[in-house]
Structure 1
């Protein structure tokens, strides 16, 4: 276990397993684990004409490149969870192929958690091109070794399962669920230790409130291009 001190002032640095993250001047956060970064890149993109979302371009950059630019300063271990290993062979990161035939986010979470060497992994997906490093850093600072899921929760009670931290201890419960062909991510939460983090505790890391913007269809892609241009994302 490594000890990480997060000093919020404006830049990201990463040195081996001791890292300092900065977001907002004057705030200090302490995290106590080494956490892997997992990118779910195996979606069908059926509503996008079966385009692989990882390689969609927004503002001249692919979604995968955008996510990696956020992940690299934050995580010493990065895993790309995908259906086809060959698609990602040139990226220099571990590629975890799905072990279940069904196409689902839960399938990708299972593959990523199984492949990582860290005890916990932060999950994001290629539906979310604008996830902010500042928000991730604040969420990581909420993580403790005894918690199995650390997840943002909105005021209406909705949790964000694809911008959350999961422990390897979740694997047997996820696997049992997948064998039952039950793909609702939060279904296993009552079997593990869950910590919900209100969005107002993460707001300083995402001033434009874009981390949870999802590209699910052509209209969303048009809006994403507008956000990238107008906000300089």
Structure 2
């Protein structure tokens, strides 16, 4: 099951996937996580952002290998910190997220103390992604220019 969470569904009608919209008026990644979890039929969902074009399947596999029923979140942690937009979330996260969004608090990591979190350290991720390019975000023209200078070895 693949869901696309967007506030512009008309742009994606030709795509062969299920399109869902945020259920809270706040525009932030946490509302996207909430909508994805709310609408999925699965007990857990892998959540990623649209601005990470180098995401490697092996990173997703590494996270899935660590998933156990007791975990509500399986999240990579690199030198830059937690990577909550490349993580697995349980539907059990819905209520804590709703409480946080109802208080108009958009910080993803703030609900983590209310759930069971398994952190996957950088050393565990490097076999799947030696240069950790799965966590490179392309948000600005400068980010795009920087990504264009990456070597083909970096992208492997």
Q: Give your verdict on TM over 0.5.
A: yes
Runs of 5+ consecutive residues of structure 2 not aligned to the other structure: none
Runs of 4+ in 1 over 3 A off after TM superposition: none
* Structure (1 or 2) with the greater strand fraction: 1
Q: In the TM superposition, what is the alpha-carbon distance from 1:208 to its structure 2 partner? A: 3.1
Higher relative contact order (CA 8 A, sep 6+): 2
Q: Deviations over 1:91-114 (max 9, x none)?
A: 111111111122100011011111
* Counterpart in the other structure of 1:51: none
Instruction: Kindly name which structure, 1 or 2, has the bigger radius of gyration based on alpha carbons.
Output: 1
* Counterpart in the other structure of 2:97: 174
The answer to whether the 8 Å contact 1:149/1:195 transfers is yes
* Counterpart in the other structure of 2:32: 108
The answer to whether the 8 Å contact 2:125/2:132 transfers is no
The answer to whether the 8 Å contact 1:155/1:198 transfers is no
Q: In the TM superposition, what is the alpha-carbon distance from 1:209 to its structure 2 partner? A: 2.2
Matched, 1:206 2:129: yes
Q: In the TM superposition, what is the alpha-carbon distance from 1:223 to its structure 2 partner? A: 1.5
The answer to whether the 8 Å contact 1:147/1:167 transfers is yes
Q: In the TM superposition, what is the alpha-carbon distance from 1:199 to its structure 2 partner? A: 1.3
What pairs up with 1:116-127 in 2 under 5 angstroms?
A: 116-127=40-51
Q: Distance in 2 between matches of 1:225 and 1:79?
A: 29
* Counterpart in the other structure of 2:141: 218
The match for 2:114 among 184, 191, 214 is: 191
* Counterpart in the other structure of 1:74: none
The answer to whether the 8 Å contact 2:72/2:93 transfers is yes
The answer to whether the 8 Å contact 1:173/1:191 transfers is yes
What do you get for the CA RMSD once the two structures are aligned?
A: 1.4
Q: Deviations over 1:131-172 (max 9, x none)?
A: 11111111110001111000111257x211111100000001
The answer to whether the 8 Å contact 1:80/1:93 transfers is yes
